[in-house]
Structure formats: structure tokens, C-alpha cells
Amino acid sequence: MAASSPAVAPIYVVAGGDTTLRHEALGRLVDDLVGSDDRSLALDEFDVASPSASVRASVDASELRVEAAVVLTALDSARTFPFGTVRRVIVVRNAGVLTAEETKPVIGYLAQPEPTSVLVLELGDKAPSAALGKALTAAGAITVGGDAKLAEVLAEHSRSANLRLERDAVELVTARLGEDAGRIPALVEVLIATFGAGTRLGAAEVEPYLGEAGGVPVFELTNAIDEGDLTRALTVLHRLREASGMHPLQLMAVLHGHYRRLLRLDDPTVQGEQAAVNALKELGGRPPHPYVAKKALQQARALDSTGIRAAYDLLARADRDLRGASRAPDDALIEILVTRLVTVTRQRRRGPPGSTGSARPARARR
């Protein structure tokens, strides 16, 4: 273990109205705090909105809300001395939903935080209670914003993804999206999936991918498919088509990129969150947040080679149909594709008939 710890604030607060930017701000902060330490040893994450099974099992519902139990478990972790790392980093997500009563243990911790731990409270778009806000100020907590100017976010994401935008393209994006900076990550992802890294794009190339105000992030579509939620997947699909004005071929590019990442993670040598991050870096573009990489790895394992191969077959068929092999309307074709992709997810999670879970057959050769 390192002999000394670099001076950092013991308490950080991540807040902001835009969910996408807030998650990215949290990801960058955690990366900076963990540094070169082993994440599996240094980082402990808790989600007030989605408690772990062990926390749920420990709660007596008649005495304690499960949300409060998450906080107590997180604080116990913060009071644990680091082993093999410079410091411990404790992240509590969705802490803004806690009641004033449930924040009292946090306030008590803030009065005397552990010098070998850093506590990160992700509040969401909610303000802390008056008492918690006062305690955070007294403890010298540093607030990291999840809000930023669109031009700054566009410049940062374009640079990280090695995407060059001409001045007219930047002006068009700024004018079209206004202050909706949360759509920038998805836009850059679509442009990279379509044109490739290192490409220089002008307004004419970017304009078809902007859509109109009131759209939804494209990752909501892939999330719904990965969760096997057909109703939500079709709802998001319709909003992407109508509010965002995305062409079916643009959506195909998004889906191809998503399953390309899952294919890269369908590898027995990729074990754990950091290995998934490193594997996805090889595909180019902006390095993924560890939480995103972990979710992708879980989905790759759930689908396994058979499911991913089935998804690729569906994508190839839909691509041919959209390019003229079928006379069916484009909207119908993309709806059919999304429905079938959701079906693949559900089938792989159930496993073959007679099994109790998703079986993992022999890996397909590539």
C-alpha cells in the first residue's frame, strides 16, 4: 500500500439536472479519485434507488426503509480502512431521494469523515435537505456539476472521439439543440458509428442526425432492448422517429454499434469491469464509463455467442430490407427488427426449454 495519500477532498457532491452529463461527471470524478489503484479494491458503489440483494435481505421493513439501510452500509464501508490501495472511494447514487431523517447518519459522518476514504454523494437533480446542505458546506464538500454549456460538451466529446466538426456543423448543432447538452454524447456516438473516427464533418453531413427538439437519447432504445422491455423499446423507437426525426438507417447504425460492442465482450478472457473497459477501448471512440462497460459485459454474457449471432443475423436481414429487398414501409421494418431483438433477449435470458436459466453453449468461431 502507498505510504501516503495525495491530498483530496473527503466529500464530493455530484448534482445537475441533466442525467447524461451528471453520470459522465460522476464517471470522470471516480476515475480521478481511483487513479491507478485497483478498482475492485478501492471503489465501493451503492445505489439508493436499486439496493443490492444483501442490503434488502438485512432490512426489517417494520423498522427501517431499505433506502436508509443502503446509507448505513455505505457509511460502514467508508469507515473501513483501505487494503492495498491509496484510499477507499465510496459512491452513493441517487442520494437525493433520501428523507431528512435518513440523511442524519450522513450528517454525523460529515462531522468526522475518515481521512482514508472519499465519500461521493450523487444527488440527481434534487437539492439536499437544509441540514444536509449545511453539513456539506461545513465539511468543505466540493460540488461537481452535471450541467455544462452545450458548446463545451460538444468540443470535449468530439475531441475524445477523434471526430472533427467544421465550424458550420458546430453552429448547426448549437442552434438546433440549444441548451440540451445531454443529447451530445448520443449524437457523437451515432456520428462515429456512421462515419468512423478521424472523419471531418460539415453541417450537411451532421444535419440528418440531429432531428428536432424534444427527442430522446438513443441509448434508451438499446437499454430497453437489453432489458427485454418491448413496450418501452417501441415507445422510444417511435419518439426517435417522430420527435428526433431519425431515419431507420441511422437507427441501424446505432444498433450495429451496440451489438458490435457486445460481440467484442463475448470473450472468456474479458473478466470484470476494467477488462471490459479496456476491450471496448480497442473499438475506438470515447472510452466508456466503467459502469456502462460493466452493463455491456453483463448483457454480452446474458446473450452469449448464440444470442449475439442471432442479433447480427436480424440486423443483416433488416439492413437488406431497408435498402430495397422488401417493399414493406421503413417504419414497419424497423419495428419488426426491434421486436425481434427484444425477443432474442428474452429467449436467451430464459434459456432453452427445460433449463432454469440461460445456458451458455460452445463459443461460436469468428
pLDDT of residue 211: 58
Quote the cell numbers at residue 128.
439536499
Do residues 311 and 342 touch, judged by C-beta distance below 8 A? no
Q: Distance (Å, rounded) from C-alpha 349 to C-alpha 360?
A: 11
Q: What is the pLDDT of residues 200-235, one digit of tens each?
A: 888 888 877 775 544 566 777 888 899 899 988 998
Q: Which CATH number do you get for residue 251? A: 1.20.272.10
Of 159, 191, 210, the position where a domain reaches its end is 210
Query: Which segment, 118-127, 287-296, 298-307, is predicted with the most confidence on average?
Result: 298-307
Pair (98, 199) in one structural domain: no
CATH code for the domain in which residue 169 is found: 1.10.8.60
For residues 254 and 355, the answer to whether their CB atoms sit within 8 Å is no
Of residues 264 and 290, more confidence is placed in: 264
Same domain, 352 and 220: yes
Assigned domain for 3 exists: no
| Same-domain status, 169 and 69 | no
Q: What is the pLDDT of residues 153-201, one digit of tens each?
A: 788 778 877 888 988 888 888 877 766 666 777 788 778 777 777 888 8
Note the helical H segments in 167-289: 167-177, 184-195, 203-206, 219-226, 230-242, 248-265, 273-281
Structural domain boundaries enclosing 192: 148-210
Measured CA to CA, the distance from residue 139 to residue 137 in angstroms comes to 5
* Segment among 122-131, 270-279, 295-304 with least mean pLDDT: 122-131
Same domain, residue pair 125 and 198: no
Query: pLDDT, tens digit, for every residue of 15-28?
Result: 876 676 787 778 87
Q: Is 116 in the same domain as 154?
A: no
Looking at the structure, tell me whether residues 138 and 275 fall in a common domain. Answer: no
Neighbours of 65 (CB within 10 A): 16
Give the Cα separation of 264 and 74 in Å (integer). 33
Question: What is the per-residue pLDDT across 140-163, written as a single tens digit (0 to 9) for each?
Answer: 888 887 655 677 778 877 887 788
Q: Which of 167, 147, 143 is nearest to 155 (CA)?
A: 167
Q: What is the CATH number of the domain that holds 105?
A: 3.40.50.300
Domain stop point among 129, 145, 161: 145
Same domain for 138 and 164? no
